[in-house]
A and B are shown apart, each in its own frame.
Chain A
Amino acid sequence: MQENQKHLREAAEKLLSDKKVDVIIGYERGTLPLRTRPVFIREPDETKKLVWNSRCENNLSFYLKTAKGKVGIVAKGCDARSIVGLIKERQVKREDIFIIGVPCPGIIDRKKIEDTLEGRDLQEGVESDSQVILKGEGFEEKADKDKLLHSSCTTCTHRNPVLYDTLIGKEIPEPKMDEYSDVEEFSSKKDNERWTYFNDETSRCIRCYACRNACPSCYCPQCFVDQSLPTWFGRTPHPSDTLIFHMIRTLHTAGRCVDCGTCSRVCPMNVELQILNKKAEKDVKELYGYEVGTNLEELPPMATFKIDDPQEFIK
């Protein structure tokens, strides 16, 4: 990773000094221990700010929607898939972006670090190849990175960017696994159990819309929950309205969500609804043979149809 960080800085510096891009969107060191954050770099000598590590959690493709000029963007596997989606949906032009692809072995989940700390305050953190050292008042602990990975990363089968202009480092092997075993397990539960699960999760929601705002696929100028003519659904954290908000968000991102996990990562209230997004992803794959964000040619599945689409559910 250290090696890749060096390559990344070099590549970024070259792009800026050759005036191939106007700005580079990447990650820099944050102000909190073990945190990184998005950074916008416009001068070649600022590229030493760029970092690449297992805490680069934000999906930067979000910023493409508002970026101006030719943009260089650091993209992990999932981010690259989001970018493919945005290009297909004509939110960004391929020629306006320069994708700096980075193979990603998985990103650490801040919430898992919090759980490990059990309420203690993290004052310093150091990441090595396989471990993270957590330091604070009166403690110093080691934790395995594998165990801290975000749940989206543990089932990720696209660690290497599908689309890039330059790749930093070498491609890493893609794991073979049953990505949807958790969805199947969840489906086997009773109606009531599943209903209770979703109600419990959304009961904590405070309607801050961080999930929506951070999502690369959520770019509507006005979201359906913000519409007032007509007001479709309530804006308070009423259980029914909150559940409906999350459900419709899943519907709107079906066939577009790449399971980057951003919505779950940004949630301040630990609302965990990824299983719902994954279910939609699985359906789209099984019903229409569509894998989100893997090529630029195929039309998004909800924007097209085939005459012989499955219709067992219709009387």
Chain B
Amino acid sequence: MKGKVIGKEQLAGWLDNLREEYDVWAPVKGNGLVSFHPINSASEIYFGFLNTRKTPKDLFFPQSEVLFSFRRGEMEKDRDTLLEKPRIIFAIRPCDAQNLALLDKVFDSEDYQDPYYVERRKGTLLFGMACTHPQTTCFCTSMRAGPFEKTCLDLLIVDLGNDRYFVEAVTEQGKDAIGKNNLLEDAGEKDTERLAKTKKEAEEKIKSKIVIEGLEEKLDKIFDSSLWDRVHQRCLGCAICTYLCSTCHCFALLDEKVDSGGQRIRSWDSCMFPGFTLEASGHNPRISNKERMRQRVMHKFNYFVKNFGQTACVGCGRCIRNCPVNIDIREIIQEIDNE
């Protein structure tokens, strides 16, 4: 593996060069939250982040988007292009990038392509920032990935802990992005040594573990277990865990209309809401938080595995950190394991 390095003070120059061709999105801090925004200068980037509060999945699958609109007496207009310029998402965390591999299975499969998702996905380069400071709630190493995972990334950038970043091209497009300027130089032996050390240290910092081997089969057997009565008890039934989740991708189609026209909107929906399964007859098969929480766990660790061969969790820990009543998926998996 041949990598490049760039001095930290050169990074701004590199991004400025890239901004000529791309819209660069990067983590920006505001109101106590870090989130991805298009930047006009590298000085806006907040490097002190562990991870963003919301996942960047909404850059590909926005919380709500108009699929089409109509006016009285007018046919549907042609859809505008979704991206004016190709995008770079700078400093996306490996877990959030890996998540796109899961979303690809849903929105960009052989049988079905979602044009909105695909267009955004194709027009975006992902520059990952390796996690050198994983959080106590991170468990990506249990999800067949890690803080330096390269899945879906075009480039992996690693803070070497000194005055340099290590930059490794993963795809051809990533290589091109490096090739376009001379601020990056070839990595020396010391840099690669440092890289290996940083990686090892980061992986060791991840103490949380969950066991997903055999989980799918186990879940098959415990659908009616009393375990669900216990684990759901404190659940408030809000959608924090699903809306902040990397992998959750359920949506509803809504029609908003007025006298003169209307629009069809795709909007995130959550299995934690009663309305998610409410039938027209008034019957609701998932009548309480218990059934809803079971669905959330089953979908991630059983149904998704059955449908797509992979667990629908990347171990980012957002659901754990943000749950107002501290429901901890690691604990639930442990309890399932103990059943």
Contacts and interface: CB of A to CB of B under 8 A. Distances in A.
Q: Do chains A and B touch in the complex (CB under 8 A)?
A: yes
A235 interface: yes
A119 B46 CA distance: 10
A32 B321 contact: yes
Given A32-B321, A111-B32, A238-B64, A209 B133 contact: no
Interface residues of A, number: 45
Given A119-B34, A121-B133, A206 B54 contact: yes
A196 B256 CA distance: 26
Nearest to B266: A236
A173 interface: no
A268 B320 CA distance: 12
Interface in A279-310: none
Given A137-B133, A234-B254, A58 B325 contact: yes
A210 B64 contact: no
A31 B135 CA distance: 13
B33 A269 contact: yes
B47 to A, nearest CB: 9
Describe A's contact surface by its main secondary structure.
loop
A44 interface: no
A31 B33 CA distance: 23
A37 B239 contact: no
A213 interface: yes
B41 interface: no
Given A206-B243, A210-B324, A38 B273 contact: no
Contacts of A123: 136
B53 interface: yes
Contacts of A234: 254, 256
12 contacts: A31-B320, A37-B234, A119-B50, A120-B50, A207-B63, A209-B238, A210-B239, A213-B238, A222-B274, A234-B256, A236-B64, A270-B33
Interface of B: 31-34, 46, 48-50, 53-54, 63-64, 133, 135-137, 205, 233-234, 236-240, 243-244, 252, 254, 256, 265, 267, 270, 273-275, 320-322, 324-328, 330-331
Given A32-B326, A111-B32, A208-B243, 15 more contacts: A119-B49, A207-B243, A209-B239, A210-B238, A212-B238, A213-B236, A214-B238, A226-B275, A234-B254, A236-B254, A236-B265, A237-B64, A266-B236, A268-B322, A269-B33
